[in-house]
Structure 1
Amino acid sequence: MKFCVHLNMQISPPKHLAPFIRHYIFLENHEKDIKNVRLFTDGSTGLILSANMNLYSDFSEEHIPASFFYGTLNSYKDFSSKGKFSFIAVVFQPYFLNMILNTSAKEVKNQIISVEDVLKDKLIRFQDQLFDKINPLTIINDLNIFFTRFISKETGTDYQLIAAIQQYILQHKGSVSSKDLEYFTGYSERHLERKFENYMGVSPKKYTNIIRLHYFLSLMSQGVSDENMTSLSYHAGYSDQSHLIREFKKSIGLTPRQYIKTENKMAVNFIEL
């Protein structure tokens, strides 16, 4: 059995929220059987909102809160789900979680934080809306209003710096050296590393590796064969195919071929095993 994805719903935020939120994803599972899923790093942080999700970590009996924030991942996390559920994933720009939690992103890297432990009852109404099966577009619109009010306070110059560096890395598809970043910002490599880890949860080098890998994923989505795998890896900035495969397995836990054969991709970085 596979997840039933409601309208394959991925919604962009309004323009003023785009510096903080990448997109929203709505997913529904109508089956009762146990499913094993994997979330792997794309450099983002985020929020999962659900009223009825039974999710367990690493195929164990460690229960995950129905609604939770997740920090930047170093590689991937495996989960098992039990029973029917629906949820909305709010995929943040990496530094937005730092703003919400008001703590170093490095401290919550690879962590799952219960919504109730952070915002208490402020997100309950969205969970209730999901439970009552309100149109997900209505819920997402309400979330836009909630986050708009949240960012109305001063964000500060550090966020502007980090956002500018992030955009620079994205524009260059991850093929950026530490010297490039020093020249772009005027700051030393060590200073940038401290700032980046505080706001993004990972070092600039780790983030560039993640973005380069996802650029390769975008190239693969256009079609890949034995003949063009090497050329695609070079085009994405890898020195050789073996380097690519090592990075791929470290970040995703699969080889490129295994990823291609994975049938149920609920999002580019969220797959059913």
Structure 2
Amino acid sequence: MQISPPKHLAPYIRHYIFLENSREDIRSLRLFTDGSSGLILSGDMNLYSGASEDRMPLSFFYGTLNGYKDFASKGRFSLIAVVFQPYFLNILLKSSAMEIRNQVISAENVMKDKLEVFQEKLFNKTDPLWIIHDLNLFFTHFLSEGISNDHHLIASIQQYLLQNKGTVSSRNMQHFTGYSERHLERKFEYYIGMSPKKYGNIIRLHYFLSLINNEIEDKNMAFLSYEAGYSDQSHLIREFKNNIGLTPKQYLNTQNKMAVNFIEM
């Protein structure tokens, strides 16, 4: 279940996702980059890092990803994923997005007990729509302190990249903002955790995903890759494997897509 935030929170939160698993077996899950950061809230989840098998915190923030992260889920769980606009984690944690890129940070370590009430509601099987309503109030109150001009600048550049499906030259970016390429890179790395070029590549990749995930039965990969702005199909496959760890055909054959960037392996 995917739920949009109210209009005034849309510049900061992309959407909420509620996921529930009633199975007792072990499931392999993959979260891959969409350029966003986020928050995972749970009251009863046994989630382990796929690489180290370390147990994840019940609730945690994750920074923007360079590629993908694998997890293993053991037993039943219910969770709410709050998918942030890329720069919102910088606002929440007041630290460089580069320092927390690819990182998982326990919510308890940075927000003490402020999120505990939401964990308890998930544990007690409260209607997720009510929990999301309360989260909207929580984030609205947090944002009442105001936002810096730099965040408004980054949000404007993000919208410019989205409108152009990620395909924007350095010259056009400089013309749009009035800043040099290096200045923009420093801003983006601090507030989002990656360069404008890397973020644009992710937007382009997800535009391609939107094309192959639609209802077209006869998917001509070469045509769709050109449609998404790739110079050739081999370039697309390289980007796809670097960011998702699969080829486009392997991704399409994945049975359980829990969200556009969260799949069961």
Q: TM-score range by the shorter chain?
A: over 0.9
Q: 2:235 maps to which residue?
A: 243
SS at match of 2:95: coil
Q: Does 1:33 align with 2:25?
A: yes
Q: 1:156 maps to which residue?
A: 148
Q: 1:81 maps to which residue?
A: 73
Alignment: residue pair count: 264
Q: Does 1:13 align with 2:5?
A: yes
Which one-letter code corresponds to 2:66 in the other structure? Answer: N
Residue 58 of structure 1: which of 47, 50, 63 is its match?
A: 50
**CA RMSD for the aligned pairs?**
0.9
Q: Does 1:121 align with 2:116?
A: no
Partner deviation per Cα, 1:29-80 (whole Å, 9 max, x = no partner): 0001000000000000000000111111125421110100000000000000
Q: How far did 1:221 drift?
A: 1.2
SS at match of 2:99: helix
Q: 1:146 maps to which residue?
A: 138
Residue 265 of structure 1: which of 249, 257, 260 is its match?
A: 257
Q: Does 1:180 align with 2:172?
A: yes
Q: 1:91 maps to which residue?
A: 83
Aligned-partner Cα distance in 2 for 1:113–1:39: 16
State TM-score, norm by structure 1: 0.95
Q: Does 1:196 align with 2:194?
A: no
Which one-letter code corresponds to 1:25 in the other structure? Answer: I
- Unmatched segments (≥5 aa) in structure 2: none
Partner deviation per Cα, 1:220-241 (whole Å, 9 max, x = no partner): 0123646x21110001000000
Q: Does 1:256 align with 2:248?
A: yes
Contact 1:56 1:62 in 2 (8 A): yes
Contact 1:36 1:59 in 2 (8 A): no
SS at match of 2:98: helix
User: Any runs of at least 4 consecutive aligned residues in structure 1 with deviations exceeding 6 A, and if so which?
Assistant: none
Identical columns (%): 70
Partner deviation per Cα, 1:135-161 (whole Å, 9 max, x = no partner): 000000000000000000121100000
Contact 1:57 1:79 in 2 (8 A): yes
Q: 1:5 maps to which residue?
A: none
Residue 111 of structure 1: which of 103, 110, 125 is its match?
A: 103
